[in-house]
Amino acid sequence: MTDNKAVEILLVEDNPGDVRLTIEALKEGRLINHVSVAEDGVEALAFLRQEGRYADEPRPDLILLDLNLPKKDGREVLTEIKADPALRHIPVVVLTTSTAEQDVLRTYDLHANCYINKPVDFEQFIEVVKSVGDFWFSVVILPSGKMR
Amino acid sequence: MVNLKPKRPLLASVLNSVLRFLPTGGSLPEDVWRKRHRFLLALLWVHVAIIALVGVVFGYRWDFSLSAWFTDGTVLHTVAESLPVAFFAVIAAYNGASRAFRATAVGFGLMTSSAILVHLSGGYIELHFHFFVMLAFLALYQDWIPYILAIVYVAIHHGVVGVLWPEAVFNHTAAFNAPWTWAGIHAFFVLWASVASVIAWRFNETAFARTKLILDSAGEGIYGLDMEGRVTFINPAAIKILGLDGGQIVGKSMEQIVRHTGRDEAAFHVGGSPILATLKDGAPRHGTEELFSRMDGTSFPVDYASTPIFEREELIGAVVSFRDVTERQRTEHALAEKAQELARSNVELEQFAYVASHDLQEPLRMVSSYTQLLARRYKGQLGSDADEFIAYAVDGATRMQRLIQDLLAYSRVGTKGKEFVATDCEVLLDRVLGDLMVTIEESGAVVSHDPLPIVRADETQIGQLLQNLIGNAIKFCNQEPPLVHVSSKRNGKGWIFSVRDNGIGIDPQYAERIFVIFQRLHKREDYQGTGIGLAVCKKIVERHGGRIWVESEPEKGATFYFTLPAQN
């Protein structure tokens, strides 16, 4: 298992309310973490590729990706991540607002690792975040070479 | 009581009855009159020839002296006798004169022929029959003036000639001695021959009048065609619709009064109209929304029928009836446009409901999540009032979320429906029962079913429908255990499904209301829900062209019925 090293999370989300909520939920979930926030798709990709002012930023262990983003939407970001050999092993959790959106995404076959419906119920959200944490642990114990 | 009808004197009423029985006269259609006139004129010329040839045939004396013209028994005299008849025939042929005048000339000519024949025979009684025959023929004009004048002619002739020269009209001594009496006897028979003719004429006239009445009052244009495609008659409506300015139309070819084209203007070449094809094969034709062009080039859409006329199984022409459908087309187009508009606005409305409820979720999520975060972090730290307020805020937000989700589900029935496929309802029901497993286990419900058919439907939606109905049946139940039974039976081209329960039932007065969106019959504390389930059911069934209804009484359970089309 991992040590007490903080989990590096990139949260791609433009709505500050949701950013804060996610951070709070992660806190409640007792997951030791460090969250970086990108507010649009372009920024997210720059962060991931450590371009420009993000040169010193760490590679995230997990990406939480909102779908409705300015400049480049979540679907495009996901496509680019999965097309990039350096990034494609990072697990991506897509945050959606409805099951209908998930259906649409699945038809595009974009290989997101997980979908989370942003819940209204905060307690539920905490549960979800916890399970994301568990999910992440189960993923990171695999040798990175076997990651798809 | 007031008798509005004034009482008529007896004599006047008798006279009126007699007059009513009599024909009006002078009402023959022009084309019919012409035909009859031609025939009677020919008859007149035949008499001219017969009278002129009597001398030759019977071997009269060939004497060419001037006096021979006026002497009985000479060939010249019989020729001279034919001249007055020829005179009447000539003036009767004059087209410029009125119908009554020409008919009277024919009448005088025929009566003169009769008189001459009687005279030439030396007053043979059998030749008097000729008068009756000619009078009967004269009735063909169906006109009083020539008819009465002819009778007057006979009366005067018999009276005057019979009294002055009895041997010229009678051939027996009794008549020579009492010419007035015998003239009277002749007049009596002439009178009754006339009465018989008038009766026939009257019936004939009534038949014509009825036909004319029908043709005149018809709103449709009607015209007749003979085998050459010439117009044999045309009614006022046709004249008006085709814009024909009252000139002589009968006898013109159809192409001279109307040009018939198909739905687009160039569809038929000249003579290629299906109307004219009826004249070739005797088969009726009809068309809808084809074009008729007037002679001035304007055109209008018509529905028409071309019907063959047979006489003794021989095709003799056709009757064409047509109706200007401009107005109807306009109405239909307007209606179609409105329907399209309505469909468009319906789609827009559904889209709107979908988008609105979808976008409403975002801010609502903020409200609800942060109130919950507040509750979690600060419960018991802000005082009991704050705890209560936060609890209400959380509850409200949660409820609103459910409403919006239901609204989304409702609008999705119309906007996100899938194509209809063959759906095995039995398989579908098993899946639905799987989804409801927790509910069924918690309530201890027993759900049974008869064999269910395969229908043509949107599988997902019918699953939703069954799930809602069974879910309701379990939910609205105070008994242990809830019993639900699903069955179906064939009904014409479709199936009637039923979902029966032993629940609390529904007062029949609410049987319609429960299918209206967000309508609830119970307090939220008693039975949860937003009141969308049955509205969704109704929308799903209606999208499948079916109907949904409930039969129930309070405390006696309810049976929900819905219809679905069969597989084919």
pLDDT digits (tens, 9 = 90+) for B54-111: 888 888 888 888 888 888 888 888 889 999 999 999 999 998 888 889 999 999 999 9
Judged against a pLDDT cut of 90, whether residue B37 lies above it is answered with yes
Q: Does B402 touch chain A (CB under 8 A)?
A: no
Residue A137's pLDDT is what?
Answer: 60
Judged against a pLDDT cut of 90, whether residue B337 lies above it is answered with yes
What number is the average pLDDT over the span A5-26?
Answer: 83
pLDDT in tens, B461-493: 899 899 999 998 888 887 778 889 999 998 888
pLDDT in tens, B124-137: 777 888 888 898 89
Sheet containing strand A92-96, strands side by side: A33-38, A7-12, A62-66, A92-96, A114-117
* Highest mean pLDDT pick, A100-109, A124-133, B384-393, B408-417: B384-393
Least confident residue range of A50-54, B264-268, B488-492, B515-519: B264-268
3-state secondary structure B252-288: CEHHHCCEEECCCCCCCCCCCCHHHHHHHHCCCEEEE
Contacts of A69 in chain B (CB under 8 A): none
Chain A: residue nearest B360 by CA? Answer: A97
What mean pLDDT value characterizes chain B? Answer: 85
Question: Looking at chain A from residue 61 to 100, which residues have their Cβ under 8 Å from any Cβ of chain B?
Answer: 97-98, 100
Q: Does A103 touch chain B (CB under 8 A)?
A: no
pLDDT in tens, B238-258: 999 998 876 778 888 888 888
Closest approach of chain B CAs to the CA of A127, in angstroms? 13
What number is the average pLDDT over the span B272-299?
Answer: 86
Q: Say how far apart CA A116 and CA A107 lie, in whole Å.
A: 16
pLDDT category, B266, cuts 50, 70, 90?
Answer: low
Least confident residue range of A1-10, B40-49, B396-405: A1-10
With 0-12 / 13-18 / 19 or more C-beta atoms within 10 angstroms meaning exposed / middle / buried, residue B541 is buried
- For B65, which DSSP code? S
Instruction: Find residue B421's DSSP bridge partners.
Output: B457
Residue A62's pLDDT is what?
Answer: 84
| Token duo for residue B32 | 């019919």
CB A120 within 8 A of CB B401: yes
Rg (CA), chain B: 47
Judged against a pLDDT cut of 50, whether residue B36 lies above it is answered with yes
Cβ–Cβ of B373/A122 closer than 8 Å? yes
Chain A: residue nearest B354 by CA? Answer: A100
Residue B560's pLDDT is what?
Answer: 92
- Cβ-Cβ contacts under 8 Å between A and B: the total is 44
Closest approach of chain B CAs to the CA of A121, in angstroms? 6
Chain B: residue nearest A68 by CA? Answer: B362
User: What architecture is the B421-565 domain classified under in CATH?
Assistant: 2-Layer Sandwich (3.30)
Chain A: residue nearest B368 by CA? Answer: A120
With 0-12 / 13-18 / 19 or more C-beta atoms within 10 angstroms meaning exposed / middle / buried, residue B93 is middle
CB A99 within 8 A of CB A117: yes
Judged against a pLDDT cut of 50, whether residue A1 lies above it is answered with no
Judged against a pLDDT cut of 50, whether residue A2 lies above it is answered with no
What number is the average pLDDT over the span B336-340?
Answer: 93
pTM, entire model: 0.49
CB nearest to B369's CB, from A98, A100, A122 = A122
- Give the position of tokens 């000249």: B270
Backbone φ and ψ of B283, nearest 5°? -95, 140
Q: What is the ipTM of this complex?
A: 0.70
Judged against a pLDDT cut of 90, whether residue B381 lies above it is answered with no
Contacts of B376 in chain A (CB under 8 A): 28, 122-123
Sign of CA dihedral B323, B329, B335, B336: positive
User: What architecture is the B218-324 domain classified under in CATH?
Assistant: 2-Layer Sandwich (3.30)
Contacts of B358 in chain A (CB under 8 A): 97-98
The ranges assigned to domains in chain B are 25-215, 218-324, 343-415, 421-565
pLDDT category, B294, cuts 50, 70, 90?
Answer: confident
What number is the average pLDDT over the span A99-112?
Answer: 60
Cβ–Cβ of B365/A97 closer than 8 Å? yes
Determine the CATH number of domain A7-138. 3.40.50.2300
Contacts of B372 in chain A (CB under 8 A): 121-123
